[in-house]
Chain A
């Protein structure tokens, strides 16, 4: 079946540090990949997406590249801010199950001043 595995949190960083959150997936075919973010007290928001191999999604300084050879979609940001403190979810949408997003367990990121 389709699945997403992401690194466990919490990840605690100082402001301006480099952030990486690992995400790997298992899926048949060529899934679309997404990162969603959930800020404290808010709903899930789409952060970025990639729909085919080697695509790079980017938004708000975050980037992730769809790597089919390693079945990965790691999220990176070069210099985090306190306002980036949130829970980040990796998700996939597989071609054999359109409409059925598969989410990882989420990674909490805490950025301290």
Chain B
């Protein structure tokens, strides 16, 4: 596709469950980012990849959050033992390289009930 694709667009899960959010970046983009956006706030950095490796994961809130990008393209954000406070829109973005503008997907709205 032409843009960054995120699936699912909406996810409702019960507290304590495990969820996976998928991101398919723009073809050829080496950098991939995950952000989290709560209502009325700007996106908050979680992690970014340059190629297959996590170059900076300092924004992950705790060890329940983990992300992978095994082949340098698609990435999955994994959240274990979800909590109600994890409810937010999770945004994925990609860029040609880490010091260029990022292009965002539509986001996955996660609701933990």
A residues at B contact (CB < 8 Å): 4, 32, 34, 36, 42-46, 49, 89, 91, 93, 95, 97-106
Flag whether B23 is at the interface (Cβ < 8 A): no
Are A106 and B42 in contact, with the CB atoms below 8 A?
Answer: yes
* A43 touches which of B33, B48, B101, B107 (Cβ 8 Å): B107
Cα of A98 to Cα of B96 in the assembled complex, Å: 13
Are A99 and B42 in contact, with the CB atoms below 8 A?
Answer: no
Are B104 and A99 in contact, with the CB atoms below 8 A?
Answer: no
B56 contacts which chain A residues (CB < 8 A)? 97, 99-100
Cα of A97 to Cα of B57 in the assembled complex, Å: 12
Are B31 and A104 in contact, with the CB atoms below 8 A?
Answer: no
If A99-B48, A99-B55 touch, does A44 touch B43 (CB 8 Å cutoff)? yes
Are A106 and B41 in contact, with the CB atoms below 8 A?
Answer: yes
Are A101 and B106 in contact, with the CB atoms below 8 A?
Answer: no
Flag whether B25 is at the interface (Cβ < 8 A): no
Cα of A3 to Cα of B48 in the assembled complex, Å: 18
If A32-B99, A98-B98, A99-B50 touch, does A43 touch B42 (CB 8 Å cutoff)? no
What are 14 A-to-B residue pairs whose CB atoms are below 8 Å?
A32-B99, A34-B101, A43-B91, A93-B99, A95-B99, A98-B99, A99-B33, A99-B48, A100-B56, A101-B43, A103-B42, A105-B40, A106-B40, A106-B41
Are A104 and B48 in contact, with the CB atoms below 8 A?
Answer: no
